[in-house]
Amino acid sequence: MLFKQKLYICSINFRYMKRIALVFGFLMVLSYQVSVFSQDNKNRKEPVAIEEQAMPEMNVVNNRLYLKNAPVGKHVEVITIIGNKIRDILITGSESEYDLNLPRAIYIFRMDGMVKKFIIK
């Protein structure tokens, strides 16, 4: 009888030992993944601050085109409302102005991905 009680106590302890071992193994796996992630961050390079450039501004006043922060060497296309390209202006300076001499109408100005519509009165 005493032998059966000791055997029963051992079997209870063995069940708890299994649970403890499973929990311990699970914690080990988690700690390994955390250490892998922390080492991964060590190899990353710091982001380099990129100097932001101001967006180009385009405005038409009194039949003159005014550009500010424009990319030098690019072109401004002047297009009629029906799609005819009537002028191509080479940008010579970052802040510059150009005489248009256009008749009264609605025009589309396109420069380096930027599109604006102006009315010449």
The pLDDT profile of the chain, 121 residues, written as one tens digit per residue, is 555 555 555 555 666 777 777 777 767 666 655 544 555 555 566 666 666 667 899 999 999 999 999 999 999 999 999 999 999 999 999 999 999 999 999 999 999 889 999 999 8
* Contact by Cβ (8 Å): 77, 109: yes
**What confidence score (pLDDT) does residue 19 get?**
76
> CB under 8 Å, gap of 24 or more: what pairs does 115-120 form?
116/58, 118/60, 120/60, 120/63
53 to each of 56, 61, 95, 115, how far by Cα in Å? 9, 25, 14, 18
Give the separation between CA 108 and CA 9, rounded to whole angstroms. Answer: 90
Q: Which pLDDT score, from 0 to 100, does residue 18 have?
A: 75
Q: Closest Cα partner for 65 from 92, 30, 45, 26?
A: 92
Predicted confidence at residue 113, as pLDDT, reads: 86
Domain boundaries in the chain?
1-44, 57-120
For position 121, what pLDDT does the model report? 86
pLDDT for the residue numbered 54: 79
CATH topology of domain 57-120: Immunoglobulin-like (2.60.40)
